Structure formats: structure tokens, C-alpha cells
Structure 1
Amino acid sequence: MKYEAFVFKQRGNASPSLALFYAPATEILEWAAIDRLAPKEKGGVQRIENKARTKHLAEFFRRHEQNVIPTSVIVSLEGVVVSEENGKTVINFDVANDAAKKPGLVIDGQHRLLGMSQLDEPVLVPVVALLNVDDGEKAFQFIVINNKGQKVPTDHIRALRLDFKEDSLNERLKSARLSVKDTYTSVGVANDSPESPFRGIVDWAKTPKEDRRVSAAAIEQSVHLLMNAGDRLLADQDAAEDFFFSLWRLTKEVWPRAWEVDSPYDDDVETHLLNKSSIIALTDLIKDYLVKWASFPKASILLDEPETYQEHMKELLDLIAEDFWLVAWRLASLDTAAGRRAITEGLEQVIQNRRAELPWNDKVSLIDTTWLKRVKYRTLQED
């Protein structure tokens, strides 16, 4: 098979070669497999064909002669030779008679191909092909393209007969905030990403016991509540994670003592900032302020662009006295809805006090006033 093509590397020598060309849908299906699953299998990255979707795509073309779909189908192609003929770049590859040995594999766009192939006329399809890549690269592209909408289990990748080293693939996918493992969610990003202030201190199996300080559930619940905040920009998981990490990087900058284990005022009192309920309550509070802020007419805040809201986020944190997290609290068990509400109410009262230039702990019912008197808190502040 031969096609004129534009062949290039998107980034440099380390990146795979890409070819841009077009071909009839029926012809592409002659050399590109939709999947390599046994007939009895129901899964797969491309998954079983949705007959209704294929039908609707075909009907879309039949409704009007001007209807087109300019989106490219993405495939991988093996055994490709790139050459120059009459001043034009062409790609050549052999097509075996054995359908199980097709040189191409459809990574994205199976329903478009199947729908277009049902028409009586030849429908030309734009194609982006990854040339002569190994199975690890194919697996990576399958996951990156398909994982955002629906998770791609490892077994489905393996069912495509792709031979890859899972550990090596997962290391590469971490930079894309994806994985072939369902367990690598926002918690995995928080524990492994250089962007995360919680790197190496998340309480889960990968972290040494002595370093486990931050609840995995606190991270999951915080990102989930951000994605359900009602702002369309935060609904994207990457944007929600960026917001979460931006906030907690700032807390480390603004409240460095609160990130320590013990209170500087009393060795018998632990700081509260990195407790599960505190993380969720503070994230929720700051989210509420900034979502409302972003909704104002002519607001310059875009919640998928950290540089537009970080200054406002820091202003809010500056209103909250660091000592709120360092002094003793009256309630010991706060891992409940009522406990988080008590923390939120305490934070809101502190903000009101600071704005009114009152003592930060005025009318903050969560604070243990007996402890304050016992440790002579006022004197400690002055020192």
C-alpha cells in the first residue's frame, strides 16, 4: 500500500514519526484492525461496536451532501518505509492476506470508520499514523486518548496482543496523570508528582509507615468536591487537581509551622492542618470563595488557570491565623460531617475576626480556651 504523506516528528528525535494522509474508509479497514480481541471477548480499548452509533454516523453523511467529519482517525502502522518519489514523500507498507496480521491498528475513531464505510460512495478520511512504534508506545497512546473518558483496564490492553512492560509504562503515564491501574487516581498524583506538596507523605501502601501523614481519602474527597463545585472549568479533573495542589502549596508557604507534627506551644498537642477533616474543610471553604469570585461579571479569575487565582487564594489564607491550626481544640474526633462543619465555622469566624481587627480566636468555639489559659498563650504570642 502506498500513500503520499506529510511525515514529521512532533518534538524531536526521541518522539515517534507521524504521517498525515488521507484514504477511503473502506480501504483503511483493509489494512487497519479495529481490535485483536477474540469474538467471545466483550471488552477492549475500542470496546465492542456500538451499532447505533455507527448507524447514526452513516446517517449523518446521508442527510446532506455537505456534511463532513474533519477529525482525524488515529492509527499505528508497522513495516512502513518512507521514501521520496518525484519530489513527494510517500509511505509504503505491505498488507498481508491474513486479516489477523494487518499492519495497522485503530487507536481512535473506530465508529467513524465503520459509519463511513457503510456509504455507497468512497468517503475520504484524514489519518494520523504513528509509524513503526513499539507496543509500549501503542499502549501509551491507547491509554492517553481513551482513559480520560473511560478507564482502560490493563487486561483490555493485553487483549489487543500488545506486549509491554507495565511498570515502565506506568512510570511514563504518571507524568500524564494516567495509569493502566485503577488505583492511580488523584492520590497517586498527590504522592508522586513533583507539583504536589504531599509528595511522599500520603498514607497508602507505597509510602513508608513513618512518613504517612496525609489521608488518601482526604485527597480523593477534596478533588471530588472541586469537580462538583458547579464551575464548568473545575469539572475537569486536571483543573481540579491543579487547584488543589496550588492551594496546598500555598498553605505550606503561608503556614510553615502548621505543617510540622507538634505545636510549637505544647509538645503534647499536634497540629491540625494535615488532618483529613481539615484538608477537606479548608479546600471546600477556599473553593466556595473562589467559585463565587469567579462568577462575578468581568471577573479575571479562570479556575483552570492557576496564575489567575493564586494571588486571591493567598489573600484568603493570609486572613486565617496560622495559630488556628497550632492551638488545642475542644473536639478530638472531627472525621464526621459535624466535625468538618465545626472546622468550617471556626475558619469563617477567624476570617470575620481578622477583617474586623479583633483577636483571631474571638468567639471561635472550636478552640480550647482552658488550654489557652494554661499555656499562657497570650504571653507566648508576645514572645
Structure 2
Amino acid sequence: MRQANMHHVFRSLFEILIVSTRLGLTSFGGPIAHLGYFHEEYIRRRKWMDEKSYADLVALCQFLPGPASSQVGIGIGVMRAGVLGGIISFIGFTLPSVLALIIFAYILQGLNVADAGWIHGLKIVAVAVVAHAILGMAQKLTPDLKRKALALFALVSTLLWQTAFTQVGVILIAGLAGFYLYRKNTDRDDSRIEFPISKGTAIFCLTLFFGLLILLPILSEVSSLNWIAMFDSFYRSGSLVFGGGHVVLPLLEREFVPTGWLSEEAFLAGYGATQAVPGPLFTFAAYLGTVMNGWQGGLLATIAIFLPAFLLILGTLPFWDVLRRNPKIRGALMGVNAAVVGILISAFYDPIWTSSILTPIDFALAAVLFSMLVYWKLPPWIIVITGAVGGSLITLI
């Protein structure tokens, strides 16, 4: 009996690995596209979950910080075969692009990209893509004046004091403000969903998530170890991102470029490459880590940026029903979401805008790329190529 059970578990895990790896090799187009691929493969073809449970899981992952599509993939794996299923689903979906970007980082180190015109074009692509991501988030997460004020507070604070502690402090203050301002919020959601994780495991994961968020910046300050500082930067960036991977770009750029860990050019070349590979955009961390510290750095960076997503999904699944119904908790999260919008706008201005838009022609190209992305809805790879060609032409003028 036990052997049959083990055989069933092993078969489930193997199936998750095969399906998620196939998705990892073919899922182009960013987080919204990934959710569409998951729905087609896991829900319509394989019927691993019903429509309602999938919609609930997507809602939870949109509501948590971290890469939403990766968290949905982890959640589906967990519901199918427990925590191990979640880990395998994550590895299958992420590994193809991690390996591709580590290899790209090694190839790029042999080339001199500092003065290439196409790199300047990629900087301008980043402006268009991040502006679009932030506008979408701002509409959703700061619809009223109170939340706009919280976003403005976060924007001003993080522009004037650019430290790791400012980001965490702003998030805590905004959470308390949201808790107080929205405690009478009456939006209700009465659906239910069951998860195969104990509350003890969940509490452990949540404690670890917050513990690392508070302890890592302190450890990074008091120790001179490079890898602790690196782990802290990637972990914190992974903890503060809502919605999708494009939003992590300004946070990572602010962590690594001004501090001299890697050059602006190397950063943007990797960003362009990340747009060209399938799978989650967070795998950009694998490229950055490799440029800074070889393939070991690439793997460390990948683990650090995805760890918050993992801890949060495992920590909140069992409590999702309770959380969703508690107006005070929802209020605190509304405040936090609004502050994240402010943090992102400040990182969008400095360093992304200040290092990319240097002349009127740069702004013109950014406007064209933004229109291609937002109004004509062209796929990101076309925008990357157009930006690279446009940047090369600008240097010839």
C-alpha cells in the first residue's frame, strides 16, 4: 500500500516536472501571458484545479509581493503534490531561462559593450516598459486620494534618503497608515479554497520571510561579506515587487549600478537578453549574479530573489480565507501597495530616467516605444529590437 502511494507521489512529481519545464521553455511574453499558458495547460487540458480555485490562486498571488506568475506556478504544484510539488514546479518553469542567462553573462563578459549604441536603445526600452508597468499598477493600487498621498510620501522619502532602511521603513509606516485608514473597509469575498499545508508550516514560512527582511540589511551593514550584501539586495527587491517582473528592474538597478557592483551597460544588456528568453522576468537576477560573481553568484541571486515569493505563498495559502475577510489586514495591505507604487516611481526617475533620457531624440524614441507597447500592443521582443536599432541609429546621427 505504502509502495503504491510512493509510486503515485513520484509519478505526480515527475509529471509536474515535465509539464512545468515545457512551459518554462515556451512561455514568452511576461506575467499576464504566463497566466494564460498556465490556464490552458493546467486547468483546461489537465484539469488539476477547477476554474474557481485557479481564479482564487491568481487573486492571492496578485495580492502578495513577488513574481505573480511564478507564485501561481508554485501554488499549482503545491496543490497537486505538496511542498515538494511546488519546488519542482518552480524549478521546471525557471531553470531554462536561468541557464540561458548565466551562459549569456559569460559570453557578454568577453565583449566590450560600454559604447554600443544598441545598449543606449535598451535603456530607452526600459523607460517605456517600466513606465507602462507603473501606470498600470498606479491605476489599480492608488485609486483614491488617501492612497495617492501614501504613494507620494513613499516617492519623496525614497528619493531624498536612498537607503535599504528607508524602503523597509516606508513600507511599515504605510502598512500602519492603511491599517488605520481602511479598517472599516467592507468589501467582502465569500468563496472558500482548501490547501494541503499545515498552519504551523505556514507560520514558520511567514516568520522567516519577515525575519530575513529585517535582519539581512542589518547583517549586510555590520559584515563585510560580499555575498551577504548581494543576498540582501536580491531578497529585498524580490520582497517589494507587486504584479510582475518589469517592476523589479528599477529596484535592482538602484541596488547594483550606483554602488558599482556592475556597469549600467552590462545591466541593460542583460535586461534586453531577459526579454528575449521565455519564463519569468525575475530570472534577470541569474544574469546579474553571474556578472558580479560567476555562476555561483547567478544561482545565489536566483535563490535570493525568488525566496520571498516562495515563503509568502507557503505562508499565506492556509490563511488566505481568513486574510481576505479581515478588513484591517486588507487595509494594511492597501497601504503597503500604495507605498510600493511611490517607491517604484522614485526608482524609475533615478536611476532609469536620469541615465537614459539625455536628449530630445531619446525622449522621442521612448514615446514611440511606449506607444508600440501600450496602444498597438506589440510583443516585448519587437519593442526590444526596435529600441536596439533606434539606439544604434541615434549614435550615428
Instruction: Report the TM-score range of the alignment, normalised by the length of the smaller protein.
Output: under 0.3
Q: Under a length normalisation based on structure 2, what TM-score does the superposition of the two structures give?
A: 0.25
- Counting helix residues as a fraction of each chain, which structure ranks higher? 2
Q: Under a length normalisation based on structure 1, what TM-score does the superposition of the two structures give?
A: 0.25
